[in-house]
Amino acid sequence: MENYDLDLRSVQEARNLARMGKVAAEQIADFSEEKINRILCNMVKAAKENAVSLAKMAVEETGFGKVEDKTYKNHLASAILYDAIKDMKTIGVIHEDADSKVIDIAEPVGLVMGIVPSTNPTSTTIFKSMIAIKSRNAIVFSPHPSASKCTMSAARLMHEAAVAAGAPANIISCISMPTLDATNALMDSKEVKMIIATGGPGMVKASYSAGKPALGVGAGNCPAYIERTAKVHQAVSNILASKTFDYGTICASEQSVIVEECNRDQVVAEFKMQGGYFMSAEETAKVCSLLFKNGHAMNAKFVGRSPQVIASAAGFSVPEGTRVLIGEQQGVGPEYPLSYEKLTSVLAFYTVKDWHEACELCIKLLQNGIGHSMSIHTEDHDMVMKFAKKPAARILVNTGSTQGAVGASTGLLPSFTLGCGTWGGSSVSENVSPMHLINIKRVAYGIKDCSTLASNDPTFNYPELSCGCAPVNCTGNSYESTPSYASKSGSADNEQLLKLINGLIDAMKGGQN
């Protein structure tokens, strides 16, 4: 009965937050760019002052990742993001074409629902709050139950900072009693106009089934190909910096390393030198039994964990300084569990003959995280363009895929919601930004006289409209009329032409007998 009461209370809370959020959305819709920037600056200030404390809360509550890396995530989601979006036009006239006389005007979408994962709870909350305010929207969050406290704290912090700078009350809110019923109530709420879903495949699918616009992201399974021309030391350094960042909790982190036979020994030696531990077949099997349950579903107990924690739980020890566990694999699929996504300090390792085999292997691996990201380390631009054909929305070159995909080490927009395109069942393929949270209406002036459109159009050439002849066939750049076999009443010429044609047809038939 107590659980039933909690469900009722959580649903009522969700409904109340949606109603209040709608009012806030209507109020902020008329804010000027100056007001919005003042609010954002205060949110950035609050995020920076509390970046470390929020990171500590996230690690303590979830057990995932590292405080220093979660702190940087919070910094990326606030200060670095603000620098990237501060000059972005999201209010009023955002574009005007003087020649075509079309004016683009940005309007907010209204109340947005943000679904937050347990792997990046505070940074995702800060990020979505920032892009919502930049586009003059209100946002209400549905946290993951295992990260509800830190998500709630981040949302409250962002709300207090926004209101202190002039934002309406209830502009940013969060469910304090997260239940599935409460989340569904928000999704189905008439006040919520759009959903931004960052989380597991089930939650993303539910978001797209809510009957309203949704921005969802798919799972990642990023392969990293070290091509024969790569600078091996730097490639391994980037991969380890990426995979060990927050112990691999970002879905864009590398999941598999692919090398060629010609550089295998060099790559293996470099990984060992920089802290990679190559597990035996027996150790790999033990780790796989820990990491996965119900097929290839990741065991939450080992998400975002250090290699020491994982190895100890599997019953073996690793050298001091080990940064990641590496297991060699011979294929892709259920028999090779490491070929799936592993949001922790474990990598699969593959050896291929050449780039052709690497291509085929990358495509197979990407089927388990299709549309997300992949990385290639090479000095050959032509090779980059060959791999740019792979089914991934982000092809990252000579950088760690974690930092590259979220826009920390590349020119991509900083984002914690990474679209996977139609490959991964996502409505967007780029990094989600404030531009995805606006409606664009267009003011279009007439530039042609409606009464003379046809007569003044030199390409509008249909002789049969004026002479009553047959439709025209286009042969190259010339037009050739096709005879009609239907009689036209009241036209002697047509009757005479019909008799002639019928006579020719009879003659042809006679010649065939």
Round to whole Å and give the CA distance between 218 and 221.
Answer: 10
DSSP one-letter code for 468: -
| DSSP SS3 for 449 | coil
What secondary structure does DSSP assign to 128-141, as a single string? HHHHHHHTT-EEEE
Exposure letters 301-319 (e unless 16+ CB within 10 A, then b): ebbbbbbebbbeebebebe
Q: Which of 150, 222, 251, 362 is catalytic?
A: 251
Round to whole Å and give the CA distance between 83 and 424.
Answer: 30
Residues 6+ apart with CB under 8 A from 377: 224, 225, 226, 227, 230, 231, 234, 235, 238, 239, 397, 398
Instruction: Identify the residue whose tokens are 């819709």.
Output: 29
Residues 6+ apart with CB under 8 A from 313: 290, 302
**Which segments of 21-100 are extended strands (E)?**
92-97
> What is the phi/psi pair of residue 207, to 5°?
-65, -40
* Residues 424 and 221: beta-carbon distance below 8 Å: no
What secondary structure does DSSP assign to 298-334, as a single string? EPGGGTT--HHHHHHHHT----TT--EEEEE-S--BT
Instruction: Identify the residue whose tokens are 């907010």.
Output: 108
Helix residue ranges, H only, 354-491: 355-366, 381-387, 401-405, 464-467
User: Strand 472-475 to strand 478-481: parallel, antiparallel, or no bridges (unpaired)?
Assistant: antiparallel
DSSP one-letter code for 199: S
Round to whole Å and give the CA distance between 245 and 241.
Answer: 6
CA nearest to 218, candidates 367, 364, 15: 367
41 is catalytic: no
* Residues 130 and 203: beta-carbon distance below 8 Å: no
Hey, which residues are catalytic here? 251
